[in-house]
Amino acid sequence: MASIAGTCPLGALLRNSVSENNRKMSVVHYEGLRLPQRMQIPSSHTTIPSHYISASSSPRCRTIKAMASPTVAAPNREKDPKKRVVITGMGLVSVFGSDIDAFYNKLLEGESGISLIDRFDASSFSVRFGGQIRDFSSEGYIDGKNDRRLDDCWRYCIVAGKRALNDANLGQQVLDTMDKTRIGVLVGTGMGGLTAFSSGVQALIQKGYKKITPFFIPYSITNMGSALLAIDTGLMGPNYSISTACATANYCFYAAANHIRRGEADIMVVGGTEAAIMPTGVGGFIACRALSQRNEDPKKASRPWDKDRDGFVMGEGSGVLIMESLESATKRGATVIAEYLGGAITCDAHHMTDPRSDGLGVSSCITKSLEDAGVSPEEVNYVNAHATSTLAGDLAEVNAIKKVFKDTSELKMNATKSMIGHGLGAAGGLEAIATIKAITTGWVHPTINQDNLEPSVTIDTVPYVKKQHEVNVGISNSFGFGGHNSVVVFAPFRP
């Protein structure tokens, strides 16, 4: 999740200066090869609108030393179409809406989605802002009666999941012709139905146990997103949830890909969901002293790698991918967006919230993910970093990345959270989509609020202005409280 500074009501288990156990990185090597935005079998082309093209540098950009690309041996990647895992659909709910292209366009423009909270009266809270979703609509995805009952965590999950299925040409009519026992759902969450849980506790305290709604338990437990999505669509394959704090979504991608590789499923609906911008969620993270308190200028609050950062900014939403065996995608003539090459998960085994000082948990996770993907470090030229804007976490991640990638001269590393905040269990899902869009568009979004960069951050963080960059291999990092580390590896699809 993120780092914490200061004392915390968790007693002796937390230090006076607790930092974040979340770090995320991805790096990719530029081979000068331009891939189509989405590759259908055989192929199709998409161009970038001219209005996205901007100056390649910003007044705030520092000079990055250019070096010739070393010759890289052919990768040892999976060749069996039954075990190759491709991305055939994407869906999200975000502070920038529920349209994938609109979401990424906002990121490319460097727009902040952070604002003052108005979902509840936060005037007495020491933190009064976040990446709150507004004007969300589930019309066409959830019937009215259920929509009124559901916790936002599950509403976001169902909408993002169904949008991803539609994007993959797996609407209900198509699904009804398929073997649904071969299609699974794995959408995790860090906090679960927090509003449902808080409302149930409030009813118990104020009115007694007889006034607790029968939906209290079902809508609170963390597996319900996957369950509800399967109930709505009839998908009968592997179905469960994973909850590893802010590393949740990446853990889900890793597990889902292995279900496909082992032959247990042909298609998996996978990602993360979260809706914690409510009194208990905000109040809890305030108590941990993990949040930025820049109430006077919320849009400037999330500032990864900047010397003046003072904590993370809460976000929310859901990000879901359709992961599918290449064999299945080929048989049904699916459009392939990108390829999942591999991933890894490790544990710091060190502290509830503090990262290891030697960075071993994170660096070993990156290394293991590349080994699983059949990729050399030299091939990676893009990292979507965990980068939560915490004092210890940001630099710990950078140091781990430098351990793995000895030459970072051609590496681009950006922080999606600088614009949308920290989506907790949904963060990895939203950032996987940002990583894949960087691959398909050839543009990496900027990191905003970089006015006073830490001198030890010598990697190009794409400050303020998007950059054109052909991604060869990209990684997306997610790290969570408890020492949970996860890295996933994506690349352009090559038949």
What pLDDT score was predicted for residue 4?
39
Is beta strand 317-325 parallel, antiparallel or unpaired with respect to 85-93?
Answer: antiparallel
Q: Percentage of the chain surpassing pLDDT 90?
A: 80
Segment 81-90 shows an average pLDDT of 97
Q: Name the pLDDT band for 146 (thresholds 50, 70, 90).
A: confident
Q: Name the pLDDT band for 359 (thresholds 50, 70, 90).
A: confident
B/e letters for 193-222, b = 16+ CB within 10 Å, e = fewer, are: bbbbbbbbeebeeeeeeeebeebbebbbbb
Q: Could you report the per-residue pLDDT of 254-296, keeping only the tens digit for each?
A: 999 999 999 999 999 999 999 999 999 999 999 999 999 999 9
Q: Could you report the per-residue pLDDT of 115-127, keeping only the tens digit for each?
A: 999 999 999 999 9
Is beta strand 338-347 parallel, antiparallel or unpaired with respect to 335-336?
Answer: unpaired
Question: Could you please report the per-residue DSSP string of 19-62?
Answer: ---------B---S-PPPSSEESS-------GGG---S--TTPP
Residues with active-site annotation: 246, 386, 422
Range in 33-37, 167-171, 215-219 the model is least confident about? 33-37
What pLDDT score was predicted for residue 75?
56
**Tally: H helices and E strands in the chain:** 13, 16
What would the 3-class secondary structure string for 389-431 be? CCHHHHHHHHHHHHHHCCCCCCCEEECCHHHHCECHHHHHHHH
Q: How far out from the chain centre does Cα 13 lie?
A: 28
Q: Residue 248 and residue 484: Cα distance in Å, rounded?
A: 9
Segment 324-338 shows an average pLDDT of 98
Burial of 351 (0-12, 13-18, 19+ CB in 10 A): middle
Range in 37-41, 225-229, 385-389, 390-394 the model is least confident about? 37-41
What pLDDT score was predicted for residue 247?
97
Q: Could you report the per-residue pLDDT of 206-239, keeping only the tens digit for each?
A: 999 999 999 999 999 999 999 999 999 999 999 9
The pLDDT mean for the chain works out to 87
Q: Is residue 22 scored above 60 in pLDDT?
A: no
Entry pTM: 0.85
| Spatial contact of 324 and 85, defined as CB atoms under 8 Å apart | yes
| Spatial contact of 220 and 243, defined as CB atoms under 8 Å apart | no
Q: Residue for token digits 């051609």?
A: 410
Q: Residue 49 and residue 82: Cα distance in Å, rounded?
A: 36
